Structure 1
């Protein structure tokens, strides 16, 4: 039941039609039932895993709140061990088994770990991180455990954020569940725009760029021009796809009376690696910072240790995305960028008299934006590649002159820009107006813009019905 399907549209309209007739307690129970149905529509077997996670984390959260001293810490480590063990078994067992068996084969050991052909439960990466942050916040005294099991279950399974985020902190969502307010007119305006804007980004931009990116990454070898075109296509595809999903999730939640925080903030206008991670998948970046980087010591250590903390955080963040070496490489690449930028900012930039870009957009920041976008593009090549062999082949191709005439290259880039430039122009307008949600003051302007979006979705959108990229994680 994907967001860009008629099945979800009918499901969501039914939910919106029922909610006004129910009080807070009954509406929460109804939303929990709807979320269970939404999740079960993918594969009813997945319910067993998420039901165990829900019950286990609710009980251990209560135990952590009641325990003291060493027992409190033991409950936390027990909870984290089980959560990560569950994620590791379903998501990473086959990866480790394949790599271990490959290492043992030259030694004459034919069989190490058996192949189990495990089906990855949908959204396990996201709800595992929700569970871990929930119990750690209780341990730190920053959150009281949910008093009702159904409230905690709804926090974990609320269908807008269940499958691919954003990662919503319990301290932010549980109070809204306990005292849910009815959506205001402003919520309806913002919610409708976010849903339509998210669908436009997904159906018109991401799904039309997908074949161009897929064409490149289906090859084992390619020329420099093909690599550049395919990687640019994927860069805007994944941004439109994932930020589009988040916009729909935030809009749907808004129409039901819930508010989710911003998850993307124009990441391709980042001027540095650290700036990029304050703009891209913000909920994950903040989760890694608060529950991994800072507990490792953060930037309170010696310089070598700070760099190690950055590298470990990004390696784990990359591996979280998928059980493949290219994700580890992608995480390590961004970790290296963060370490190098930190060294530059501390030791080189002050000597050159280079100031830090702050505040509103300035034209003087354009060189830094273009340089960072180039670094980001190569990162997406690592992320999307199907193997390390393909990474090596495409990297070599980038050092060879363009493999077909410049005019053809520009023509193809212009075709791709036809899909992503309208999106970028609208979001540039949003920056100029200092808005994170585009809502015109006039109802007539709102209506006209909605008509344009609906027309584009119906008649310019790809007909392939592509699944959202982050559903795979």
Structure 2
């Protein structure tokens, strides 16, 4: 089930009505049942994986705190990591590594046939696996006391608004909200409705309409270099609308239910530089890699070389997490080198001028350059294979060609209103700055949202891009 489907339009109001009339204990049971129904609606067979992950991490965490020896504590941690990464590795990466190994052996003259398994990638497995692992790791490090309530923990793992595409929550943030009585109020409900409308606007109007520009260019082998570069730039805004739109809807639904999920995107189009961008983009995932991978590699007290290598490892793993394809690995690795390049060039870059007018032009230039640096490796992210990505790269170098100005006009018209709204959010440093406006202006915003979604929206594609990750 996806947020922008007719099924969900009927599903959530029913759940919400039953939710608001119940007590906390009843609410949690309802949400747990609803979450399993939400996930099982896609393919009920994969509910077993969700349940296995829940059981393993629940009992592993209890085993850690009840163990008296360090070795036994480590055993339960390894049990959790091996189980979670084993399931993730088998379902997401088995075929990828099997094919890659076979191709490598054949390249060196060995005769080998790849063995692959035909199954669907479980929806959201990369997201909920990282969420459950962080729980056990935090318990092992003494940062968190494990919950003794299995059903609360099961809801933490399966909470349907953020189950399949994040944000990847931390137990220290979400579990206390599950265990306490939640009081619904008009302010948070209003903010939730705003986030839901904004999310649908980003997905149906922004992302899915921009796909009509991006897809024909990337799917055409004869596309010129200028078309590919433009489509690559537009794809940044498409994936931003798609992914941040999902996160906004997830956070909005959660607010209506009395929960506060972490912000996953903080106006990434307004990043001053590459480093700033990665602090604003997919925040829950990038902070997860920082806390559980980068710091675990000993980066705090390491040499400069070691920190740089660890940085590349993190971005390499980021690419691999996104998909079992060398295109994602290359994308992540390039992003790592770009990040390192910024690290060493930043001392030589001009600082923001004090003059207000000059500062506006400085910021506009910084935003534009940052988006271009981030967009550059997206050729690999968007292409289905390395060969096709290389074909597009050759077009940029050897067949630059021309670009239809109508495409630029269409793109600008599509993102203009969202960018204007985000400029206001950026200047006020408040994602809910719309509530500072007079009522009649807020009504105008909502009418624009409704009109753009229902009349101008593209409903041909209901899938979210990050569902495949």
- Shorter-chain TM-score: which interval? over 0.9
Shift of 1:284: 0.4
2:73 maps to 1:75: no
Shift of 1:363: 3.6
Shift of 1:26: 1.0
Distance change >3 Å, CA 432–CA 106, structure 1 → 2: closer
Distance change >3 Å, CA 356–CA 343, structure 1 → 2: farther
2:189 counterpart SS class: helix
Tell me the residue number matched to 1:52: 52
Distance change >3 Å, CA 42–CA 438, structure 1 → 2: farther
2:272 maps to 1:274: no
Tell me the residue number matched to 2:32: 32
In the alignment of these two chains, the number of paired residues is 464
Shift of 1:140: 1.2
State the distance in 2 between where 1:112 and 1:275 align: 45
1:210 counterpart SS class: helix
Distance change >3 Å, CA 171–CA 278, structure 1 → 2: same
Tell me the residue number matched to 2:388: 390
State the distance in 1 between where 2:434 and 2:252 align: 12
Distance change >3 Å, CA 275–CA 109, structure 1 → 2: same
**Given that residues 209 and 457 in structure 2 are in contact (C-alpha distance below 8 angstroms), is that contact kept between their aligned partners in structure 1?**
yes
Say what the alpha-carbon RMSD is for the aligned residues: 1.9
1:193-342 mapped onto 2 (5 Å cutoff): 193-342=194-343
State the distance in 2 between where 1:372 and 1:379 align: 12
Tell me the residue number matched to 2:344: 343
Distance change >3 Å, CA 392–CA 357, structure 1 → 2: farther
State the distance in 2 between where 1:381 and 1:106 align: 26
**What's the CA shift string for 1:19-52, capped at 9, x where partnerless?**
1211111100010000010001100111011111
2:459 maps to 1:458: no
Tell me the residue number matched to 2:428: 433
Tell me the residue number matched to 1:114: 115
2:16 maps to 1:16: yes
**What's the CA shift string for 1:256-279, capped at 9, x where partnerless?**
000011111111221222111001
2:467 maps to 1:471: yes
Shift of 1:147: 1.6
1:326 counterpart SS class: helix
State the distance in 1 between where 2:411 and 2:364 align: 22
- Runs of 5+ consecutive residues of structure 1 not aligned to the other structure: none
**What's the CA shift string for 1:413-447, capped at 9, x where partnerless?**
11122111211111111112221134424444433
Greater shift in the superposed pair: 368-377 or 245-254: 368-377
Give the TM-score of the pair, scaled to structure 2: 0.94
- Runs of 5+ consecutive residues of structure 2 not aligned to the other structure: none
Shift of 1:146: 1.6
**What's the CA shift string for 1:121-174, capped at 9, x where partnerless?**
111100110011000111111111122111001011010000100001011000
**Given that residues 2 and 462 in structure 2 are in contact (C-alpha distance below 8 angstroms), is that contact kept between their aligned partners in structure 1?**
no
Tell me the residue number matched to 2:442: 446
**Given that residues 100 and 112 in structure 1 are in contact (C-alpha distance below 8 angstroms), is that contact kept between their aligned partners in structure 2?**
no
Greater shift in the superposed pair: 428-437 or 123-132: 428-437
State the distance in 1 between where 2:226 and 2:93 align: 35
State the distance in 2 between where 1:440 and 1:67 align: 51
Give the TM-score of the pair, scaled to structure 1: 0.94
Tell me the residue number matched to 1:419: 414
State the distance in 1 between where 2:131 and 2:376 align: 30
State the distance in 2 between where 1:357 and 1:147 align: 55
State the distance in 1 between where 2:149 and 2:44 align: 24
Tell me the residue number matched to 1:364: 362
Shift of 1:396: 2.5
